[in-house]
Structure 1
Amino acid sequence: MARLVYLGLALLVALQSACASKSVLVLLQNANEASKYSQFIDGIAAAEFVVDVRGYKDSSIKLREYGTWHYDDLVLLAPKAEGFGGGIDQQTILDFVDSGHNVLMAVSSDVSEAMRSLASEFGVDLDDKGTKVYDHFNYATTADGKSDHTLVAAKDLVKIPVMVGGPYKEPVLFRGLAATISASSELATVVLSAPASAYSHDPRKPLLEPPSLLVGGGASLITAVQARNNARMVVAGGVEMFSNDFFDAQVTVGRTKTSTANRAVCLSLARWAFQESGVLVASGLRHHLLGQAEQPWGYRVNDEVEFLVDVVEREGNSTRPYKSDDIQLEFTMLSPYIRLPLQHDNQGTFSLRFKVPDVYGVFKYDIDYSRRGYSYIKLTHQVPVRPFKHNEYERFLTCAYPYYASALSMMAGFFGLGFFYLYHK
């Protein structure tokens, strides 16, 4: 009997773990190419994801059915795909993102218009079809001695460890298409840019003048986008950088023989894209008068109050206290009356003590925190502020003592003069 109970508990735990695992749909140019990206796919699976690998034309794919999404994340390694099987189209993928899910896509110089349009919807403008990134100074020579100036050894990774890990001494091998993002974009981050000596060019056309798109000057090789609903998208200009060949490559850059950082960078970026790193969770918003523990319905002008909130950083299935000095609190009524940084105790609790302004009305606590690589925090909480009641004012004000003295002196003088004229001839 006890053995059956233990078996039932084990089965229940297994079912709960299976339900808790995130599912990832990987669409390849051809289902037979799975072995080409096996290390990348296995790396995702090792992070406790349930991975489903399909060809992009597979008619049995069901991303959504009866209003329910079958997958949590989507990987598109099919740069030439003009359409998808199973009723998946661009609008379905955009709805997938709008519902809070994540997309990682990689293209190549032969990118299709469908993939270009999808990247554009994410705020990433890919260069013209057929163009490639060239670099005549920072190119890699493969182990068989072949030099390829389109095989760029890039080292300009964004310095955000939650996105790409690092730092790395090895370069990231890249071969593919460049992209640009708007300078005013608040949601996109250039994850990998090429050296300043790199440029983009279509080899089928003569290079009669300097290229108009200098990759090192303002384009992106890998772009990460985090939507306002915290959904994440990654657009890589080179699908080969996720392949086994680039993961295991031994190349020579200049006179230095080195391995590549592709494996670590791509897997770290995938974990970030699937919200396994860089996720902030805020909870336990509370406020009270100084010296009291109970949260009141409202405050009186000039009250001394304390505001607290707990913020943790989630890394996979574990959490740790978030430590930062740049989270600000605003006490707002139409416009902020107070804007001050929150202080943290290294245990994940952020707090601030302040005096309520001498203005009554409906105020709100407002935290709007955004930091590159981390999910956004948006918290609001309304609280009314009232004026003094008629019986709460001080009866005697220190600053009014001169006026009290003048009134008393006038009364004393009046009675003195009256007494003098009434009782003296």
Structure 2
Amino acid sequence: MANLPMFLTIISFLPFLCYSSPENPTDRRILVVLDDIGLKSSHSIFFKSLQTRGLELDFKLADDPKISLQRFGQYLYDGLILFSPTTERFGGSLDLGAILDFVDSGHDLIITTDVSASGLIRSIATECGVDFDEDPSAMVIDHTSYAVSDTEGDHTLIASDDFIQSDVILGSTTIEAPVLYKGIGHSLNSANSLVLKVLSASPSAYSADPNSKLSSPPLLTGLAISLVSVVQARNNARIMISGSLEMFSNRLFRSGAQKAGSSNRYEKSGNEQFVTELSKWIFHERGHLKAANVRHHKVGETDEPAMYRINDDLEYSVEIHEWSGKSWEPYVSNDVQIQFYMMSPYVLKTLSSDQKGKYFTSFKVPDIYGVFQFKVEYQRLGYTSLSLLKQVSF
């Protein structure tokens, strides 16, 4: 098992160069790396959905000798999509280290693969906190939750509807139809708390070579199998890992879907909705927070003082907004807390909200001298984290 990379453990956030404006956090320019130019046509619906939302895609073949993520020390792209499962070595300056540095600099990544996954693609996935089945011939098989199809006995085409329950990650509109999935499974690194399953296999699924009889129990089974996972690093970079490139294809987008044993037949699979909504989250069109107008002052005053005295009554406020994909909207929640901190919290309060994005509270300065910090550390599933620190003395 590889050690967790820097971008999954980094605590402080360094500024990074990128074409995205600070006022528009949505990824704008995306490098798409293909190992077959035919994927541009066979997966065109997915690419078109990105372009329709204003993302600029730059397609490159994986062996392009000029391929590069940066020039003169400045990143050329905001996000990277790897549709290159068979690639053993990229062209140009793109390699494992360059991709990890890209994410470590706050940029986003989509990794897709299939049963032909190369060692390079597996290594990238491992560095992101997941491990694909070590058997190079293994696929996810499910004799219970397979998709009804014209191919009798094909239980490698799975119909999965075990989605993560998160509106910010998958959108507020329920995905009714199951997702059709054909590919390989992976497990999550138990030492990495930042990786999440967003599409899981059923309890009856297992990972094995579909063309061979089982000689021993499979190592990867049931709910331990993740089909699609995501990571949000502590620097707020986002990663998606899928063991099925075909899940993104026009064919499965347009295909009808019916899970074995179910009478519900859907004219269209849930693939397009699932992939579209998930890609919105990956590229920061949803779930991206910003804080502004952090203020503190004595009760009855408006100016921030040079220092406070013990037992002063003070007020603290901050405005928090969420990016909707087009504009900043007020973020409304009831779990934003403030710490008045010196070595440990002397005051811990949940902030009140005006339901318009402003959070506020008041409290009395503790009867103790020292250097304190106003500290807001906000972390909520699916949202970018906020870390607000302001130091004051007594």
After TM superposition, the score normalised by the length of structure 1 is 0.83
Answer yes or no: is 1:135 the counterpart of 2:142: yes
Alignment match of 1:177 (pick from 184, 187, 191) = 184
RMSD, aligned CA: 1.5
The number of aligned residues is 364
Answer yes or no: is 1:374 the counterpart of 2:380: no
> Contact 2:88–2:120 at 8 Å: present in 1 too?
yes
Partner residue, 1:302: 311
Instruction: Report the Cα distance in structure 2 between the residues aligned to 1:270 and 1:195, rounded to whole angstroms.
Output: 23
Alignment match of 2:81 (pick from 75, 79, 93) = 75
Bigger Cα displacement from structure 2, 307-316 vs 249-258: 249-258
- Aligned amino acid, residue 52 of structure 1: D
Report how far residue 183 of structure 1 moved: 3.3
Report Cα offsets for 1:111-165 as digits up to 9, x if no partner: 11100110111111111222111111111122x4645211111111111122222
- Aligned amino acid, residue 214 of structure 2: L
Partner residue, 1:293: 302
Bigger Cα displacement from structure 2, 36-45 vs 311-320: 311-320
Answer yes or no: is 1:257 the counterpart of 2:257: no
| Structure 1 segment 134-173 matched on structure 2, within 5 A | 134-142=141-149, 144=150, 146-165=152-171, 166-173=173-180
Instruction: Report the Cα distance in structure 1 between the residues aligned to 2:212 and 2:69, rounded to whole angstroms.
Output: 40
Report how far residue 186 of structure 1 moved: 2.5
Report how far residue 55 of structure 1 moved: 1.5
Instruction: Report the Cα distance in structure 2 between the residues aligned to 1:249 and 1:80, rounded to whole angstroms.
Output: 25
Mark the structure with the bigger radius of gyration: 1
Bigger Cα displacement from structure 2, 52-61 vs 206-215: 206-215
Partner-residue secondary structure (3-state), 1:310: strand
Instruction: Report the Cα distance in structure 1 between the residues aligned to 2:202 and 2:148, rounded to whole angstroms.
Output: 17
Answer yes or no: is 1:214 the counterpart of 2:221: yes
Partner-residue secondary structure (3-state), 1:95: helix
Partner-residue secondary structure (3-state), 2:147: strand
Partner-residue secondary structure (3-state), 1:313: strand
Answer yes or no: is 1:121 the counterpart of 2:127: yes
> Contact 1:133–1:215 at 8 Å: present in 2 too?
no
Partner residue, 2:343: 334
**Change in 2 beyond 3 A, CA 1:146/1:319:** farther
Partner residue, 1:248: 254
> Contact 1:97–1:231 at 8 Å: present in 2 too?
yes
Partner-residue secondary structure (3-state), 1:234: strand
Instruction: Report the Cα distance in structure 2 between the residues aligned to 1:212 and 1:21, rounded to whole angstroms.
Output: 38
Instruction: Report the Cα distance in structure 1 between the residues aligned to 2:233 and 2:342, rounded to whole angstroms.
Output: 27
- Aligned amino acid, residue 207 of structure 1: L
Partner residue, 1:402: none
> Contact 1:331–1:338 at 8 Å: present in 2 too?
yes
> Contact 1:131–1:201 at 8 Å: present in 2 too?
yes
Partner-residue secondary structure (3-state), 1:251: coil
Report how far residue 206 of structure 1 moved: 3.2
Report Cα offsets for 1:268-308 as digits up to 9, x if no partner: 11121111111001111111111111111121111111110
Partner residue, 2:287: 278
Aligned identity (percent) is 39
Instruction: Report the Cα distance in structure 2 between the residues aligned to 1:211 and 1:352, rounded to whole angstroms.
Output: 55
Partner residue, 2:12: none
Partner-residue secondary structure (3-state), 1:238: coil
Instruction: Report the Cα distance in structure 2 between the residues aligned to 1:300 and 1:215, rounded to whole angstroms.
Output: 60
Answer yes or no: is 1:33 the counterpart of 2:39: yes
Report how far residue 215 of structure 1 moved: 3.2
- Aligned amino acid, residue 227 of structure 2: L
Partner residue, 2:8: none
Instruction: Report the Cα distance in structure 2 between the residues aligned to 1:272 and 1:54, rounded to whole angstroms.
Output: 24
Q: Which has the higher contact order (CA 8 A, sep 6+)?
A: 2
Structure 2: unaligned runs, 5 residues or longer: 1-25
Structure 1: unaligned runs, 5 residues or longer: 1-19, 386-425
Instruction: Report the Cα distance in structure 2 between the residues aligned to 1:349 and 1:147, rounded to whole angstroms.
Output: 57
Answer yes or no: is 1:224 the counterpart of 2:230: yes
Task: Return the structure number with greater helix share.
Answer: 1
Instruction: Report the Cα distance in structure 1 between the residues aligned to 2:202 and 2:27, rounded to whole angstroms.
Output: 39
Instruction: Report the Cα distance in structure 1 between the residues aligned to 2:219 and 2:129, rounded to whole angstroms.
Output: 20
Instruction: Report the Cα distance in structure 2 between the residues aligned to 1:211 and 1:32, rounded to whole angstroms.
Output: 34
> Contact 1:139–1:147 at 8 Å: present in 2 too?
no
Report how far residue 319 of structure 1 moved: 1.5
